[in-house]
Structure 1
Amino acid sequence: MATAPQPQLPLFYKDLLPLNSRDHADWKVSSFADAGFLANSHAIPLTVDEFVDAQRNYPIVFTAGDNPLPIALFGLNEGVNTFIDGDGKLQAGVYVPAYIRRYPFILAKLNKDSDDMSLCFDPQAGVVGKTEDGQALFDGDKPTEYTNGVLEFCRRFEESGQRTKSFVEELGKLDILMDGEIAITRNDMPDKPFVYRGFQMVDENKLRELDAETTERLNKNGMMMLIHAHLFSMNLMRTLFERQSAQGKVPTPDSGTPAVPNATA
């Protein structure tokens, strides 16, 4: 079977294979028994279409560097996910980012000289293969309704990724992103604050200083609502810290929050 080009695999993905009726005619996909594949992920890529839903449960920040990416924080330290229980189950009732729901499928370019993208999957995910149970991927040489649904979901995700890219580029043009720093003090350690860095956030002072014309434009095109969703979500940083503390997962003070490696929207 041909393997899709993978110079740098996205978060979660360990391998990629293009899905096709020749090699996978009798393959099926089953549900994940648990959410173990994201148990050690403290930050998940997020699209702008999800800001309003995600800000109810997670702080939304932007990765550091020249090409920032919005992420939902599931924990404040690398490898810490406060929303996964001891059985590997994701907490019920919280918003599940589309990046998680897409896995193990993804649209990927098979030819670096072409913009065409093919539906691929991670064979190491353990849920796609020749099994008795599960959703059939093909009916003869035709994709099933399930597979067409997966393809459409991945297409919409890519489109949302483009909107996210445009949103972040506009933030850059407005020059309203700044390096973030959050200091949280525990009652039992008042003189040793826990300081989290390594992310970006919208500078509220610069946001307030935007001229009336720019502010009106941001209101009309919906960007201001997204910016406010991000800013409102920052109030959950302390809540997330308290979740981590209650789970015994808070390290020593002055621990930075690193950006997400190899994550793509």
Structure 2
Amino acid sequence: MATEAPNQQLPLLYHALEPLNSNVHRKMKIRSIEKSPVIGTTHAIPATVDEFTLLARHYPIIFAVGDNPVPLALMGLTEGVNAFMDDNGVALEANLYVPAYIRRYPFLLARLTPDSDELSLCFDPTVGAVGEFEDGEPLFEEDGQPSKATKAILEFCEQFEAAGQRTGAFIEDLVKSDLLMDGEVAIQPEGAAQPFIYRGFRMVDEEKLRNLRGDELRKYNQSGLLALIYAHLFSLSQVREIFARQVAQGKGPMAVPQREPAEA
């Protein structure tokens, strides 16, 4: 299942970052990503609290293990399997809610230098969404000013960053109240001799939640954090739906050959 939060120099999905520049990219256009195999093989996507209620309708919302328990929308139960996207990273269903993290790709706001407080709009040049195409939306006007499309991208990335800050505050409250516990989900398919056990993630401890002091619980309710917690808890029932999806797609655990332990 999920393991630790991404701990790498580049964010999840991104292979490279290039700052958007009116001189370098003035004649370039942005077009839809035709295919992104990395999305099609990513089983857990970072989530923001702003989209918890929408995500919970489709995916389990879990928390990463380790020192940085970021919330993740679980799109598959197996590393390398995304039960909601095809091999090209295209949604299998037209009405599927796609996490904002994916919809932001290949753009993001990033600091060009570690000691800078300024965020610059960057993109991943390896995915083929930005270039001197005949089709697509211009990135800049003739006078070098950002185009309407670029302004919309920038606004979405800014909204995502703000949502990320709210998500960080939510995580701080969970950690401060010691509400996270190691998670475990058991699925017993019909005809299987033993249940499939999924671990390697964190979840809210319902017993600790029930035992919160009245003033602390009231604070959670008034701030809206309690609704987010229950969205997370209710979403965990979707694990069984993903299991069924993977089995139907031939990607379930029964279709995966058991590997021998690697030699030391």
Q: Fold conserved (TM > 0.5)?
A: yes
Q: How many residues align?
A: 246
Give me the whole-angstrom Cα distance separating, in 1, the residues matched to 2:9 and 2:86: 30
2:190 to 157, 182, 187: 187
C-alpha displacement of 1:174: 0.5
Secondary structure class of the residue paired with 2:24: helix
Alignment partner of 1:233 is 2:235: yes
Gaps spanning 5+ residues in structure 1: where? 1-6, 254-265
Q: Kindly indicate whether the alpha-carbon contact (under 8 Å) linking 1:27 and 1:137 is maintained by their aligned counterparts in 2.
A: yes
**Counterpart residue type for residue 120 of structure 1:** C
* CA distance in 2: counterparts of 1:98 and 1:70, whole angstroms: 13
Q: Is the 8 A contact 1:194 1:252 kept in 2?
A: no
The question of 1:170 aligning with 2:173 is answered yes
1:205 has 2:207 as partner: yes
Q: Structure 2 unaligned runs (5+)?
A: 1-7, 256-264
Equivalent in the alignment of 1:145:
148
The separation in 1 between residues aligned to 2:204 and 2:59, in whole angstroms, is 16
- Paired-residue identity, %: 53
**1:22 is matched with which residue?**
23
Letter in 2 for 1:56: R
2:138 to 121, 136, 139: 136
- 1:4 paired residue number: none
Partner residue in 1 for 2:3: none
1:120 aligns with 2:122: yes
One-letter amino acid of the counterpart of residue 234, structure 2: F
Which residue in 2 is equivalent to 1:258?
none
Report which of the two has the higher share of strand: 1
**Residue aligning to 1:71:** 72
2:90 alignment counterpart: 89
Following superposition, the deviation at residue 88 of structure 1 comes to 4.9
Q: TM-score, normalised by structure 1?
A: 0.89
Q: CA deviation at 1:245?
A: 1.2
Structure-1 residue corresponding to 2:106: 104
Quote the offset at 1:69 in angstroms.
0.5
**Partner residue of 1:247?**
249
Q: Spell out, residue by residue over 1:175-230, the C-alpha distance to the aligned partner (whole angstroms, 9 max, x if none).
A: 0100101111111213x221111100000010000111111111000000000000
Deviations 1:4-57 (A, max 9, x none): xxx711111101000011100100011122454410011111000000111000
- Spell out structure 1 runs of 4+ moving beyond 4 A: none
For the residues of structure 2 that align with 1:39 and 1:87, how far apart are their CA atoms?
6
